[in-house]
Amino acid sequence: MTVSALTRPGERDRAIVKFSEIDWLFALALCLIAGTGALMMFSIAGSSWEPWAGNHLIRFGLCFLAMVMLAMVDLRVWSALAYPIYGVGLLLLVAVEAVGDVRMGAQRWLALGPFSFQPSEVMKLGIVLALARFYHGMSADSARLSWWLLIPLAMIAAPVVLVAHQPDLGTAMLIAMTGLSMVVLAGLSWKVIAAGVISVVAAVPPMVMFVLHDYQRKRVLTFLDPESDPSGSGYHIMQSKIALGSGGFFGKGYGLGSQSQLNFLPEKQTDFIFATLAEEFGFLGCISVLFLYGAVIFMALRIASISHSHFGRLAAAGTTATFALYVLINGAMVMGLAPVVGVPMPMLSYGGTVMVTVMIGFGLVQAVRVHRYSEVTSGSGALL
């Protein structure tokens, strides 16, 4: 009888070595963030595991196992799958335009039997992998400034246009900013970066007035002056600011947040859960959670820095950029420093699709650490 490869001593030893190479401190920080989210959901549900906290923990547990399993996947496999994942994501976005479900005035979901998902989440990972593979093996001069730049810009623009048309401005911004971050990390000339920033700043006013949908334009104008319509379009920001300010330094106490407990704060378990945290645990609680986010970002960037392959460095850095943008945009949105665009606080907010995307991305980051000595050849890791 042939012994299965899984039971061979050599294969088993290699699996144990890989398992031991996982960054468990990084994993612990993720657990603490997700656990804090579950505690807040338990509180705002009236000390009940239903309907949010229990599901949140179950989803995180399953996603955590997926992250560990994905950490075992060699970087050469990730590289080989980069373009197919991007291509599938693009096709799914096109499918949304044709047969997507319409909810709350937006066509963003695809239904698979009893389940539905947002293909834009697939693209958040797809754009990172595709750009990492494109730039792997490219010379520094070509990455700095050449006609090759048109290809990654087209790769970014295609999903951004499709997602913005759904319309989903928050996700479109996230994909665009992630893609552009990777282009910068790949070595783009600072002259081009400066010119791009100036162009974007100049384009914002006409885009707000002539390109955005009416409700999106209203969000931007409300952000500039939320007091102009406190019971209408400015309600979310006003209530979030009240919750943030009322918590003070130490907070009102666990389960004692009036804005969230009395349902004044909208989307208290998703987009505005950070305001819920601020109300109950105050400035000290917010700083503690932000410290955890900062630790995750620092450890992920450190993992990117130790990879021996350019693909691994860019893939880990791009995934980290996506995560950091989630935190930055949601934090700014909750504090009234950015328009409300429906971007959740990762791992803290309730929501299965975003958690799956984030944890698959961190599976890639862990794979970069575990296989940091793997060499991804130019033939399998780039167009060049």
Dist CA 120 CA 20 (whole Å): 33
Tens digit of each residue's pLDDT (9 = 90 or more) over 6-18: 445 555 657 777 8
> Does 381 have pLDDT greater than 50?
no
Nearest to 361 by CA among 170, 128, 32: 128
Is residue 1 domain-resident?
A: no
Report which DSSP code applies to 123. Answer: H
Q: How many other β-carbons are positioned within 10 Å of the β-carbon of residue 306?
A: 13
Nearest to 207 by CA among 164, 270, 146, 238: 164
- Average pLDDT in the 332-336 region? 88
| pLDDT > 90 in the chain, percent | 49
Q: What angle do CA 300, 306, 309 make, to 5 degrees?
A: 105
How sure is the predictor about 141, in pLDDT bands with cuts at 50, 70 and 90? confident
- Average pLDDT in the 146-152 region? 82
How sure is the predictor about 149, in pLDDT bands with cuts at 50, 70 and 90? confident
Q: How many other β-carbons are positioned within 10 Å of the β-carbon of residue 153?
A: 14
> Does 257 have pLDDT greater than 70?
yes
Among 47-61, 94-108, 205-219, 356-370, which is the least confidently predicted range? 205-219
Is residue 11 domain-resident?
A: no
How sure is the predictor about 382, in pLDDT bands with cuts at 50, 70 and 90? very low
pLDDT at 274: 94
pLDDT at 38: 96
Is residue 12 domain-resident?
A: no
pLDDT at 362: 97
- Average pLDDT in the 223-227 region? 69
Is residue 157 domain-resident?
A: yes
Is residue 8 domain-resident?
A: no
Contact 93, 162 (CB under 8 A): yes
- Tell me the one-letter amino acid at 316: A
Is residue 89 domain-resident?
A: yes
> Does 199 have pLDDT greater than 60?
yes
- Average pLDDT in the 159-177 region? 89
Report which DSSP code applies to 374. Answer: P
- Average pLDDT in the 61-84 region? 94
Dist CA 130 CA 248 (whole Å): 45
> Does 214 have pLDDT greater than 80?
no
Query: How does the average pLDDT of the chain come out, rounded?
Result: 85
> Does 41 have pLDDT greater than 70?
yes
Domain enclosing residue 167, as ranges: 21-376
pLDDT at 338: 81
Higher pLDDT, 202 or 291: 291
Among 71-80, 270-279, 331-340, which is the least confidently predicted range? 331-340
Is residue 295 domain-resident?
A: yes
Is residue 312 domain-resident?
A: yes
Tens digit of each residue's pLDDT (9 = 90 or more) over 345-363: 999 999 878 899 999 999 9
List all residues 6 or more positions away from 186 whose beta carbon is below 8 Å from its beta carbon: 131, 135, 138, 143, 314
pLDDT at 265: 83
- Average pLDDT in the 25-36 region? 97
7, 66, 211, 369 from 24: Cα distances, Å: 25, 15, 46, 11
The tally of domains found in the chain comes to: 1
Q: Model-level pTM?
A: 0.88
Q: Which helix (H) or strand (E) holds 339?
A: none
